[in-house]
Amino acid sequence: MRYVSTRGQAAPASLSQAIAAGLAPDGGLYVPEAMPKVGALPRDGYLATTASRMLAPFFADDPLAAELDAICAEAFAAPAPRRELRIDGGHLLELFHGPTAAFKDFGARFLAACLTRLRRDENHPLTILVATSGDTGAAVGAAFHEVPGVRVAILYPDNRVSPRQAHQLGSFGGNVRALRVEGSFDDCQRLVKGALGDATLQADVPMSSANSISLGRLLPQMAYFGHAALQAASPMNTIVPTGNLGNAVACLWAKQTGLPIGEVVFACNANETLPEFYAGQPYRARDAVPTIANAMDVGAPSNFERLRHLFGNEDEARRHGHAERVDDAEIRDTIRRHAANDGEVFCPHTATAIRVFERLRLRGDTRAWTMASTAHPAKFDTIVEPLVGKRVEVPDPLAIMLARSASAEPMAADGRIFADWLRHW
Ligand SMILES: *Cc1c(COP(=O)(O)O)cnc(C)c1O
């Protein structure tokens, strides 16, 4: 299997090359040259086993293929259960049972498992850059912490992540450093993309990315959607809380390989780049606005390039998806109401998907839907606890991380200052 850039100006790459590079040399994102079809899979397999079989065609002809079982065993150590909600016809796909209590653990651990195998004999450390709106950084930090030959710079928008997220990001130390950037998540993304695309800087400081632009994070995210869909009675209609479009594109890729996934709907917060696009307006990236579902505060979703590439053009993309906007007041109302009525406590991101599901019901849609639950509510205690009127129990792995001390360094949203910082690390 070969991988090509969404911008079409870079030579095709092998899987290993694409994963090691992060971003294609023309600034585009790597996508499979052709989407393979996945053969029949057992309905009741273990997540790690199913993931390995599902991803095998993507690893064909690559040196990493021999390691795929081991990579999946490391990445899919936590379960991703799909369970019934008390809301009629609704299921929740719980993706928050990993070490940092958000779905990004799966992708980060998979990428780490791949990169450590690819870099085994190198003398130079590889610097992983990760821009985060909250959860990615912690997942990547946890996945690479104390891994030899690799170091991680986490960039997050200062004051725009939850206190517990900030604590997690700064809690690693050693080979993982946290930078609190004066700006938005999009500023963080610009710094990372700028550094990765700077050939002179690359020569001094070998770098790769761990954002959802990285193929090594996107591929494994297909696996839990596929695994869940195999368990559903009919093609699994799915609502995905969406920011940078990584999880949603992974779900669409899984569908394209022939897995039984039905409609895919993107639940967005007040950042309406995607809802506007799906309502028929031209795609227009913009600055992010802060919301209480902060890991989705994205105004210029990077994976939009992959979405457009997948369907060939924007009109075709619109025919295969749908996005809805959920504002903070609706998120709060959803969390409050479910805690009171059925005892379910959702994180603000998951609540956007629940809200979209409720709207579908109000419009007369009677189909079964599965909502991706992207984080544990305890990560957002300062928002969730006042709404539900009680303490939200902290899962063990999160409690361990919160018990450590934490610190982050300030960073201006300025590419030259950031490049300098990297050179002097
Ligand atoms: C990152 C994140 C999202 C958005 O996922 P994308 O892949 O960026 O669309 C949603 N919810 C949570 C909790 C997240 O951490």
Amino acid type, 79: P
CB-based contacts of 103, cutoff 8 Å, min separation 6: 95, 96, 135, 221, 224, 247, 372, 374, 375
How many CA within 13 A on the CB side of residue 294? 25
Best of 135, 217, 380 for a ligand 1 pocket test (most atoms within 8 Å of beta carbon): 135
Pull the structure tokens for residue 352.
């956007």
Task: Give pLDDT, residue 44.
Answer: 83
Q: Is the CB of 161 inside a 6 Å radius of any atom of ligand 1?
A: no
Name the band, by pLDDT with cuts 50, 70 and 90, for residue 213.
Answer: confident
- Average pLDDT, integer, range 254-265: 97
377 in ligand 1 pocket by Cβ < 6 Å? no
Burial label, 347 (beta-carbon count in 10 A; 0-12, 13-18, 19+)? buried
pLDDT-based confidence at 419, cuts 50/70/90? very high
Could you tell me if the CB of 242 is within 6 A of ligand 1? Answer: yes
Cβ(93)–Cβ(116) below 8 Å: no
211: pLDDT strictly greater than 80: no
Which atom of ligand 1 lies closest to the CA of 96? 13
Residue type, 229: A
User: Is the Cα dihedral 20, 22, 25, 28 positive or negative?
Assistant: positive
Cα atoms found within 13 Å of the Cα of residue 328, Cβ hemisphere only: 9
| Nearest-angstrom CA–CA distance, 97 and 143 | 14
CB-based burial of residue 319 (10 Å sphere; 0-12 exposed, 13-18 middle, 19+ buried)?
A: exposed
Instruction: Determine if residue 154 is left, alpha or beta; phi over 0 gives left, psi from -120 to 50 gives alpha, anything else beta.
Output: beta
pLDDT score at 251: 98
Residue 227 CA neighbour count, 13 Å, CB half: 26
CA of 249 to the centre of ligand 1 (A): 12
Ligand 1 centroid vs 120 CA: distance in angstroms? 30
Which residues have CB under 8 Å from 195's CB, separation 6+? 129, 201, 207, 415, 418, 419, 422
Residue 31: CB within 6 Å of ligand 1? no
Q: Which atom of ligand 1 is nearest to the CA of 375?
A: 13
Question: For 7-19, what is each residue's pLDDT tens digit?
Answer: 999 999 999 999 9
Alpha carbon distance 196, 192 (integer Å): 6
CA 201 to chain centre: 27
User: Does pLDDT of 121 surpass 60?
Assistant: no
Which amino acid is it at 172? F
Q: What is the pLDDT of residue 197?
A: 86
Residue 297 burial by Cβ neighbours in a 10 Å radius (0-12, 13-18, 19+):
buried
Secondary structure of residue 169 in the 3-state scheme: helix
pLDDT at 20: 86
* pLDDT at residue 122 greater than cutoff 80: no
pLDDT of residue 120: 58
pLDDT tens figures, 90-113: 999 999 999 999 999 999 999 999
Query: Which of 215, 244, 355 to mutate for ligand 1's pocket (most ligand atoms within 8 Å of CB)?
Result: 244
What distances in angstroms separate CA 378 from CA 7, 97, 204, 289, 405, one per listed residue? 40, 12, 41, 23, 18
pLDDT tens across 22-34, in order?
889 898 999 999 9
Average of per-residue pLDDT across 324-330: 98
Say if residue 262's pLDDT is above 70.
Answer: yes
pLDDT band at 371 (very low <50, low <70, confident <90, very high): very high
- Cβ of residue 374 lying under 6 Å from some atom of ligand 1: yes
DSSP 281: P
Confidence band for 263, pLDDT divided at 50, 70 and 90 = very high
Residue showing tokens 């902060």: 294
With a pLDDT cut of 90, the percent of the chain lying above it is: 83
* Angle formed at CA 211 by CA 65 and CA 281, multiple of 5 degrees: 115
Domain extent listing, the chain = 78-104+215-398
pLDDT computed for residue 322 by the predictor:
95
Q: Give percent above pLDDT 70 in the chain.
A: 99
What's the pTM value of the predicted model, to 2 decimals?
A: 0.93
Write down the H helix ranges in 35-175.
47-59, 68-75, 104-118, 135-144, 163-169
pLDDT tens digits, residue range 296-314? 999 999 899 999 999 999 9
Mean of per-residue pLDDT scores for the chain:
94
**Ligand 1 site, residue 244, Cβ cutoff 6 A:** yes
Q: Give the pLDDT confidence of 125-174 residue by residue, as tens digits.
A: 889 999 987 788 999 999 999 988 899 999 999 998 888 889 999 999 99
* Rounded Cα gap, residues 228 and 236, in angstroms: 8
Residues 378-406: what's their mean pLDDT? 94
Q: What does the pLDDT read at residue 161? A: 87
- CATH number for the domain formed by residue range(s) 78-104+215-398: 3.40.50.1100
Q: What is the pLDDT of residues 37-64, one digit of tens each?
A: 998 898 888 999 999 999 999 999 999 9
Alpha-helix runs per DSSP H in 170-303: 185-196, 199-204, 215-231, 246-256, 273-278
Tell how strand 207-209 and strand 322-325 pair up. Answer: unpaired
- Distance from the alpha carbon of residue 122 to the mean position of ligand 1, in angstroms: 32
Q: Which amino acid is at 201?
A: L
Residues 382-406 have a mean pLDDT of: 94
* Dihedral sign from CA coordinates of 357, 360, 364, 368: negative
